[in-house]
Structure 1
Amino acid sequence: MKSRHYAAISSKNINIGDRIATAGKFWDRFRGLLGRPGLEEGEGLLISPCWSIHCFGMKFAIDAIFLDEDFRVVSIHPDMKPGAMASNRKARCVLELKAGEAARHNIQVGEPLIIEPSTR
């Protein structure tokens, strides 16, 4: 996760994360979260463009939130374990968060997320 462009993600006026790195270049998207020991609350990775992900070689579970071009949630794949795969052809990007964060923030399919530059 070499990119240091951070985004702030919010929904229903609730901060979901303010340390969301973006992966837009091919190798950043390909590598994703590989090599990381885990994610903390507020951390994540926004992969764009993307409609399919895998957790091969990862050491921890994640929540994957698939978003359309308007950042509306099209599907949620909670608690994806290492080795899992998920996809959604309607998605244009994927937000990867610490496992359990989607439920903790009550993120729902159809809900729009607000993505803007972080102040960090």
Structure 2
Amino acid sequence: MPRRHWQDGPAQLRLPGGTSIPLEIAASYRARTRGLLGRDTIDGALLLTPAASVHTFRMRFAIDVAYLSGDLTVLAVHTMHPGRLGAPRLRSRHVLESAAGAMAGWGLRPGVRVAVTP
């Protein structure tokens, strides 16, 4: 599969079954470093790419974290509280973040493949 050139900005996360979630893409070093810092919540999700791990230091709320492979298949999903350091995931190329509890509501679990559209 050819590598996609990601750019910062808005997009849509498409889930199996046709559900669409608002998505922000953070592909530049600056956008990935900022992530969800300074926010009180997020409407939808944030895709960090490339990324294999995340932290929640200085964050104001708990988040769900999904580690995605290069073809956007979910490898693992975890809830992280503020002040935590997530271990790097082997084979992870992207990390999806959302408010805690959101991913369970979306049915996101290991093995599910998602898509990103502009």
TM-score normalised according to structure 2 size: 0.86
Tell whether the 8 Å contact from 1:66 to 1:76 is kept in structure 2 after alignment.
yes
Cα 1:49/1:61, change in 2 over 3 Å: same
- Please, what is the CA RMSD of the aligned residues? 1.5
The number of aligned residues is 111
Q: Which amino acid aligns with 1:50?
A: A
Q: Match for residue 96 of structure 2? A: 95
CA distance in 1, matches of 2:82, 2:100: 11
Task: Give % identity.
Answer: 32
Structure 1: which 4+ aligned runs deviate by more than 3 Å?
none
Structure 1 residue 4 displacement after superposition: 5.8
Amino acid at match of 1:75: A
Is the partner of 2:46 in helix, strand or coil?
strand
Matched, 1:113 2:114: yes
Deviation per residue, 1:60-111 (Å, 9 max, x gap): 0110011011000011112x11011223121100010111011111212011
- Whether the aligned pair in 2 keeps the contact of 1:8 and 1:15 (CA below 8 Å) is no
Alignment correspondent of 1:34: 37
2:11–2:117 CA contact under 8 A, matched in 1: yes
Q: Which runs of 5+ in 1 are unaligned?
A: none
Query: Which residue pairs with 2:57 in the alignment?
Result: 56
- Kindly tell me: are residues 21 and 61 of structure 1, through their superposed partners in 2, closer, same or farther at Cα, counting changes over 3 Å? same
8 Å Cα contact 1:45-1:97 kept in structure 2: yes
Q: Match of 2:67?
A: 66
Query: What residue is the counterpart of 2:16 in the other structure?
Result: 12
The letter of the residue matching 1:11 is L
